[in-house]
Amino acid sequence: MILKGRKVVGGTVEGEALVSSDPVSFYGGVDPDTGVITEPGHVLCGKCITGKVFVFPTGKGSTVGSYVIYRMKKQGTAPAAIINVETEAILATGCVISSIPLVDKLDKNPLKTLKTGMKLRIVGEKGLVESI
């Protein structure tokens, strides 16, 4: 399966998908020291995003979220790549300054097409998501 979308941040990575139906706030919703989602009531609360291809609808929250993503990258707790239904500026900025591949606006809804545990290759320059 190959999905085509929009390149937000380039880069090629492979990893295991972690899919959330809930939006994510990196400021207050994710522990930057562990990569664990800590937001009470979040569908993935307690799950670790470190090294995963993290799939979720969109980001939410404070502009500080961009710097949390950067901190996670420096500490080795960041996701390998991010796929959004539609990304927003805070998340995009965090991925740009952290060189984390980010794609969105795929030709099929990634929340319905991709499943947690799938092995994926992201080719950010081309906006491609491939199951491997």
Nearest CA among 127, 123, 126 for reference residue 14: 123
- pLDDT reported for residue 35: 98
**Regions of the chain where pLDDT drops below 70:** none
15 contacts 117 by C-beta, under 8 angstroms: no
CATH number for the domain formed by residue range(s) 2-131:
3.50.30.10
- Please give the pLDDT value at position 12: 98
**CA-wise closest residue to 68 among 23, 92, 29, 32:** 32
Q: Distance between CA atoms of 42 and 64, rounded to whole angstroms?
A: 20
- What are the domain boundaries of the chain? 2-131
Point out the catalytic residue in the list 20, 25, 62, 98. 62
The pLDDT score that the predictor gives to residue 62 is 85
Q: Which helix (H) or strand (E) is 68 found in, with range?
A: helix 65-75
pLDDT single digits (tens) 16-25: 999 999 999 9
pLDDT (0 to 100) of residue 61: 82
With tokens 């320059």, the residue in question is 125
At residue 45, the pLDDT reads 98
62 as an active site residue: the answer is yes
Count CA atoms within 13 Å of residue 84 on its CB side: 23
pTM higher than the cut 0.85: yes
What pLDDT is attached to residue 118? 98
